[in-house]
Structure 1
Amino acid sequence: MRALLQRVLEAKVVVDAETTGEIQKGILVFLGIGKDDNLENGKKLIDKILKYRLFDDEQGKMGWNISQANGGILLVSQFTLMAQTQKGLRPDFGSAMPPTDAKVLYEQLVEYAQSQFENVQTGIFAADMKVHLVNDGPVTFNLEIE
């Protein structure tokens, strides 16, 4: 499982001209689910995201997590994060979980994230999403859980 975290000043997801999720200051999380992933490692990743310190504290260092920074999380499914890109000129998505199974796991992870943190917004799984963001920094991290 992979998560690409972007610290943002604002972000939103639009599907068919309708905003499905929107945050101000916080973390935009693109989440890729692999075929061997499960709820247990997904919960570990969500926990790590919630504790990950990528916001400036009083000393101007990345010392605060999302809760301490009073931010929000926008959680967006992104199967393309699972692409194998080492060979050739076309991405190989063989390591991504099949969509039917990935949707179930993604929804379980959204539910878990919302049970752990009050300000979690989402996109729509497998929709043609338009993601708008103002990257803060830019600050971007790639997290993986196996």
Structure 2
Amino acid sequence: MKAVVQRVMSASVSVDGEMVSSIGKGIVALIGIHRDDTVKEVEYIVRKLINIRLWEDESGRRWAKSPKDLDLEILCVSQFTLYHSMKGNKPDFRSAMSGDKSLELYNQFLSQMKKGHSEDKIKNGVFGAMMQVELINDGPVTLELESLPEKRSEPEPQPAE
């Protein structure tokens, strides 16, 4: 499982021109699910997202406070394209988990996020939809987190087209 994390001043997700979710200060987490991911990878990413220290504390010490410490919002957006490989100039998404299985794991991820932080602080896009994500990056601060299964099967390399 992979998360691309951006510290934001605000963010929103729209589908077909209609805003479906928005947050103020917090983080946007783009979530990719690998075809070999299990609940173990979900638990790791949830723990990291809730506790990632991206903000200053009261004394100005950098990288000291987490979304949970500051009671900030987290906007989660499913994004299968995070697990791609390039086949020439064309992306190949065979490493991403299939739709139905990934929806189930993504829903488990959201449930654990709400249990680990605060249900009203966890926001979500629309799984599988074409979404427009708007954000005001704070810093900018962008980090990548990944939890790797012990025995991950990678696709065989394919010749370039």
Q: TM-score normalised to the size of structure 2?
A: 0.86
**Corresponding residue of 2:151:** none
Equivalences for residues 1-146 of structure 1 within 5 A: 1-58=1-58, 59-85=60-86, 88-118=88-118, 119-146=121-148
Q: Which amino acid aligns with 1:78?
A: Q
Aligned equivalents of 1:22, 1:124: Cα separation in 2: 12
Aligned equivalents of 1:65, 1:101: Cα separation in 2: 30
Aligned equivalents of 2:18, 2:117: Cα separation in 1: 24
Q: Secondary structure at the match of 1:67?
A: helix
The 10-residue stretch of structure 1 (66-75 or 93-102) with the greater mean CA deviation from structure 2: 66-75
Q: CA deviation at 1:71?
A: 1.2
Aligned equivalents of 2:25, 2:61: Cα separation in 1: 16
Aligned equivalents of 1:28, 1:60: Cα separation in 2: 23
Aligned equivalents of 2:98, 2:29: Cα separation in 1: 20
User: Could you list the per-position Cα deviations for residues 64-117 of structure 1 after superposition, in whole angstroms to 9, with x for gaps in the alignment?
Assistant: 1112233100000000000113x5211111100011111111111111111111
Structure 2 gaps, min length 5: 149-161
Q: Which amino acid aligns with 1:66?
A: P
Aligned equivalents of 1:5, 1:89: Cα separation in 2: 26
User: Could you list the per-position Cα deviations for residues 17-39 of structure 1 after superposition, in whole angstroms to 9, with x for gaps in the alignment?
Assistant: 22222110000000000000012
Larger Rg: 2
Q: Which amino acid aligns with 1:71?
A: L
Structure 1 gaps, min length 5: none
Aligned equivalents of 2:47, 2:68: Cα separation in 1: 12
Aligned equivalents of 1:46, 1:84: Cα separation in 2: 25
Aligned equivalents of 1:142, 1:37: Cα separation in 2: 17
Aligned equivalents of 2:14, 2:115: Cα separation in 1: 24
Q: TM-score normalised to the size of structure 1?
A: 0.94
The count of corresponding residues between Structure 1 and Structure 2 is 145
Q: Which amino acid aligns with 2:145?
A: L
